[in-house]
Each structure stands twice: as structure tokens, then as C-alpha cells.
Structure 1
Amino acid sequence: MTKETKIVAGVLAGAALGAAVALILSSDKGEDVKDQLADWFCDLLDSSKDKLADVADSVKDKLAKVKA
């Protein structure tokens, strides 16, 4: 695994752990918690996709420089 892959995997694992703790400690209704977690996971996935796209662009740029 590359360094970036390990970082993304760590972030996602931490997010899952945080979500589990939030569910356990939450005093809100179940539906409210589910909606909040769904929104949070969507935001997390969007930001992860953006970061992965940035990494991919960086790799492409480096490969283009090496080929040139």
C-alpha cells in the first residue's frame, strides 16, 4: 500500500469508529441520528474523492514530467 492509501484507509476507519461511538453516546432519536450520519458520510466520501482526485492529478503530473 502506498502512503496515500494508508492515510485514506486510516481516515475512513477513524470515521467509522467515530460514527459508532456517536451512535452509542447519542441521546437523539434513531431516525435523527441516521440522517445526521448519512449526511456526514456523504460529506466524508465527497472530501475523500476530492483528495484522491488531487493525488491522481499529482501522480499524472509527475509522470508527465518524467516522460518529458
Structure 2
Amino acid sequence: MSHFITFEGPEGSGKTTLIARVFKHLSKSHEVIMTREPGGIGISEMIREILLTKGNDMDERTEALL
């Protein structure tokens, strides 16, 4: 049986910290895969970096689509 767990919340709410702790705990007894969106592969990591850069002049519609 497989499970899919997601974490939602605003920027700075501690999602990354919580995910790391849950991953560490579950990895002790289960096979666990951790992903994030956008992210995971080269181009996605580059897009993520752009989106998280403060002061980027990206149009809001473009950001929402990414």
C-alpha cells in the first residue's frame, strides 16, 4: 500500500523543516520518496530559484502559471 502526503502553507511557515523531520522519521521504517514542487530536476530547480528570488520582476500571471 502506498501513501501520498502533502504539506501546504504560506512561505516561511516551516513546511521544509516539517517535511525533513517527517521524512527522517518515516525513513526509519518505510521506503520514502521526498519531492517538492516546483523542483526535483534541473530545470525545475532553476525555476524554483527564480520564483523564490525576492524582487524579481516577473508578471503575476507568469508566476502563477509556473
**Same topology, TM > 0.5:** no
Taking structure 2 as the reference length, the TM-score comes to 0.35
* RCO higher in structure (CA 8 A, sep ≥6): 1
Q: Which protein shows a greater Rg?
A: 1
